[in-house]
Chains A and B, each alone.
Chain A
Amino acid sequence: MIRYRKEEHVGFIEFAGKCTRWSDLDVVAAELRDIRDRVRSDEDIRVLLLSGFEKIRVPAGPESPEECEGAGPGSIGMFLQPGAEVAAFDCPTIAAVADGLLGAAVEVALACDLRIAAENATFTLPSLAAGCIPCDGGTQRLPRLVGKAKALELLLLGSTLPAPEALRIGLVNRVVNRQDLLKTVQAMAFEMASRGPIALRFAKEAVKRGVDLTIEDGLRLEADLYFLLHTTKDRSEGITAFQGRRKPQFHGE
């Protein structure tokens, strides 16, 4: 289902296979978990670029009792969720959204840290019309991103959100011409990957974990991560390079 390749310090995760049945999501989630194991042990990977979300076109819920295995009320959390797997990556994740996304595909994109969309991209959450609700983080990540009112509007009306509006409400970070999408996202990923890799992960951790804490506890988390960075060679390299007006060479240690 997923094509994975690595170029310099960027990992490319492309949803390439046919993902049209609800139970296909299990396979996608399992493959993402494998990739995460590889990335975790590959010190080289600093940023992940995800694409191909539009290939994920599954119904809003299981369509047969067989598909229900692992999806009944007694087994909540037993089924694998692609979005949950994406959200668990330590390093920054950038989503390239090239086309219209439906349901589960939206949820996987929401689980990424940043979203860059082509001008023709759209976002639709049709679960309610099918008598279901999103089950891969949509009801949580969407309101935290665009606010309660907009999230409820999209969920309850199932309306299709075009890219410019998605930008305005904060669902995507940037909208570009379709032909520029891959180029833009790659440039962003490589540029990000040229920064301190540990600092990248710690910045992500401070923001994502901190936002659920009181501001005071969040500030302590930030301070602890900041002082941990004092023990890295990358920090000395970063500062020395800046003072010497040269580009820093980070090694992730």
Chain B
Amino acid sequence: MEDVPVSGFETLAYEKSDGIARITLNRPNHLNAYNIRMRDELYEVLEAIRDDNEVRVGILRGAGRKAFCAGADLSEFLTAPPPVKARRARFDRDIWRLFLGIRQSMIAALHGYVLGSGIEMALCCDIRIASEDSRFGLPEVGLGIIPAAGGTQTLPRAIGVSRALELLLTNRWIDADEALALGLVNRVVSATSLMDTVEEAAKKIASLDPMAVRCAKQAVVRGMDLPLADGLNLERLHAASLNARRLHGVGDR
């Protein structure tokens, strides 16, 4: 497995140490707005994480003080390729499927503006920890479009259909406390302790048996798509393979 070069990315910074991969959205002068270049670089980084067994947990954060990510870069929107071509590109390199399918645990460290694609990227992570100054909003419908980074699917699964519809249809911005109450984020901490809190959580996860972590995530995430009986079977399969490995060394990497 090649190490992803730390330099050479225009819109992201990536580094890993002690089993923790750190992705930083790195366009602070543009509030880390998500553009085509970021999409392509993020895809590369996610592929690298997917293929790197040394990575046990990933952290996603945003550079600069003002925003985790304030949404998509609209300056590219009106020159987008025609819909049929664009749809093909969307599925040929399916970044959201890749992100949601990452087997290692992913933690989002949120601060400042978390808007549009920002919320959607955060929702591709397993755990979301936000600083007190975070503010969340979904402006897409006011622009005549809908979220296209999975938000219409991941948000209702996270906070419920009705609460998701309210945020989507009214673009009502919510603060960190309300995000916590809705279940959009797991925890709210002070801005100064955000990264310490996230690092501590990451270290904890990185210290666990990586196969157990992957099995737990798979059982939960894949199980959500299944009727309960099938989900229980999935859990049994994962548990059995973990036990076999633990007790008999079967399947050791």
Q: How far is the CB of A70 from chain B (nearest CB, A)?
A: 30
Question: Is B237 an interface residue when CB atoms closer than 8 A count as contact?
Answer: no
Q: A214-B225, A228-B83 are in contact. Are A235 and B145 (CB under 8 A)?
A: yes
Q: How far is the CB of B176 from chain A (nearest CB, A)?
A: 19
A157-203 residues at the B interface, CB under 8 angstroms: 170, 173, 188, 191-192, 194-196, 198-200, 202-203
* Pairwise interchain contact A215-B153, C-beta atoms closer than 8 A: yes
B contact residues around A90 at 8 Å (CB)? none
B contact residues around A229 at 8 Å (CB)? 144-146
Q: How far is the CB of A247 from chain B (nearest CB, A)?
A: 10
Question: Is B244 an interface residue when CB atoms closer than 8 A count as contact?
Answer: no
Q: How far is the CB of A96 from chain B (nearest CB, A)?
A: 14
One of B54-62, B74-82, B184-192 at the interface:
B74-82
Q: How far is the CB of A39 from chain B (nearest CB, A)?
A: 17
Question: Is B236 an interface residue when CB atoms closer than 8 A count as contact?
Answer: no
* Pairwise interchain contact A230-B86, C-beta atoms closer than 8 A: yes
One of A6-14, A122-130, A219-227 at the interface:
A219-227
Q: How far is the CB of B138 from chain A (nearest CB, A)?
A: 9
Most-contacted residue by chain A among B75, B150, B153 (CB, 10 A): B153
Question: Is A82 an interface residue when CB atoms closer than 8 A count as contact?
Answer: no
Question: Is B96 an interface residue when CB atoms closer than 8 A count as contact?
Answer: yes
* Pairwise interchain contact B78-A240, C-beta atoms closer than 8 A: yes
Question: Is A210 an interface residue when CB atoms closer than 8 A count as contact?
Answer: yes
Question: Is B205 an interface residue when CB atoms closer than 8 A count as contact?
Answer: no
A contact residues around B160 at 8 Å (CB)? 145, 170
Bound form: Cα–Cα A47–B90 in Å: 31
Nearest CB in chain A to that of B143: its residue? A238
Instruction: Name B156's contact: one of A173, A194, A211 (CB within 8 Å).
Output: A211
Chain B residues bordering chain A, tally (CB within 8 A): 45
Instruction: Name B83's contact: one of A145, A200, A221, A227 (CB within 8 Å).
Output: A227
A contact residues around B250 at 8 Å (CB)? none
Question: Is A92 an interface residue when CB atoms closer than 8 A count as contact?
Answer: yes
* Pairwise interchain contact B142-A195, C-beta atoms closer than 8 A: yes
Question: Is B163 an interface residue when CB atoms closer than 8 A count as contact?
Answer: yes
Total contacts A to B, CB within 8 angstroms? 151
Bound form: Cα–Cα A32–B152 in Å: 28
Q: A114-B165, A196-B141, A239-B143 are in contact. Are A222 and B86 (CB under 8 A)?
A: no
Question: Is A250 an interface residue when CB atoms closer than 8 A count as contact?
Answer: yes
* Pairwise interchain contact A207-B142, C-beta atoms closer than 8 A: no
Bound form: Cα–Cα A144–B160 in Å: 8
Most-contacted residue by chain A among B74, B75, B157, B162 (CB, 10 A): B162
* Pairwise interchain contact A210-B169, C-beta atoms closer than 8 A: no
* Pairwise interchain contact A225-B146, C-beta atoms closer than 8 A: yes
A contact residues around B84 at 8 Å (CB)? 227
Q: A211-B156, A215-B153 are in contact. Are A234 and B144 (CB under 8 A)?
A: yes
Question: Is A99 an interface residue when CB atoms closer than 8 A count as contact?
Answer: no
Nearest CB in chain B to that of A222: its residue? B152
Instruction: Name B161's contact: one of A192, A196, A208, A231 (CB within 8 Å).
Output: A208
Question: Is B38 an interface residue when CB atoms closer than 8 A count as contact?
Answer: no
A contact residues around B225 at 8 Å (CB)? 214-216
Question: Is B100 an interface residue when CB atoms closer than 8 A count as contact?
Answer: yes
* Pairwise interchain contact A239-B78, C-beta atoms closer than 8 A: yes
Bound form: Cα–Cα A115–B84 in Å: 37
* Pairwise interchain contact B157-A145, C-beta atoms closer than 8 A: no
Instruction: Name A218's contact: one of B141, B145, B146, B153 (CB within 8 Å).
Output: B153
* Pairwise interchain contact B162-A248, C-beta atoms closer than 8 A: no
Q: Considering the complex of A and B, which 7 residue pairs feature the smallest CB-CB distances, nearest first?
A: A238-B144, A196-B144, A206-B152, A238-B143, A234-B144, A218-B153, A226-B148
Q: A220-B91, A236-B78 are in contact. List 15 more A-B contacts (CB 8 A).
A: A92-B169, A173-B162, A206-B146, A207-B164, A215-B100, A216-B97, A223-B91, A223-B148, A229-B145, A230-B83, A231-B83, A232-B144, A234-B144, A239-B78, A243-B74
